[in-house]
Amino acid sequence: MVVVIMGVSGSGKSTLGELAAQELGGRFYEADDYHTAANINKMARGEPLGDEDRQPWLAVLADNITKWSRQDGVTILACSALKHAYRLQLKGESGANVHFVYLHGDRELIYDRLAKRENHFMPITLLDSQFATLEEPKEATYISAALPGLKQLEKLKQFIKSI
């Protein structure tokens, strides 16, 4: 099974994903690690990615999700997955073995987190473009980004056990 923790940059996807993978004895992957150098450079310059920029990245992630979904245990992927079309592409052939968890928060909360974050290629100036691109999912389980990490982890574990 693959659980994709999605949301805008700074919502806490990686932190929650790493904690959950450790707690559940699963595997964790960060979707940002699969971006092309051109995409990273573009974002670092403060330019938002368009659909055409994301397509090769989404294709690689979808291929990996298909492989991961065939493995025993749980794999957790931290990925923005901002649009419905992106989530459909990520799910691909894996179908029922892929589940989305939306780590949602308001702009003020996320902005404050990004302002404190160090050593990340994406500047805070791109936050508004992330919210503008975001299509809130109907197909996901929602967890508040405002909750403390351990409460988020408990909610995620309950969700995974219910699958």
pLDDT tens over the chain, length 163 residues: 999 999 998 899 999 999 999 999 999 999 999 999 999 899 888 888 899 999 999 999 999 999 999 999 999 999 999 999 999 999 987 676 899 999 999 999 999 888 887 666 666 778 888 999 999 999 899 999 999 999 999 999 999 999 8
**Token digits for 157?**
């574990």
pLDDT computed for residue 125 by the predictor:
78
Computed on alpha carbons and rounded to an integer, the radius of gyration of the chain in Å comes to: 15
C-alpha 36/C-alpha 14 separation (Å) is 19
Distance of CA 60 to the CA centre of its chain: 15
pLDDT computed for residue 95 by the predictor:
73
E strands along 2-159, which residues?
2-6, 27-30, 75-78, 98-104, 140-144
Q: Tell the CATH superfamily of the 2-162 domain.
A: P-loop containing nucleotide triphosphate hydrolases (3.40.50.300)
Whether residue 2 contacts residue 63, with contact meaning beta carbons closer than 8 Å, is answered with no
Residue closest to 151 by CA, chosen among 28, 29, 12:
12
pLDDT computed for residue 46 by the predictor:
86
Residue closest to 12 by CA, chosen among 33, 34, 30, 38:
30
**Token digits for 105?**
């928060």
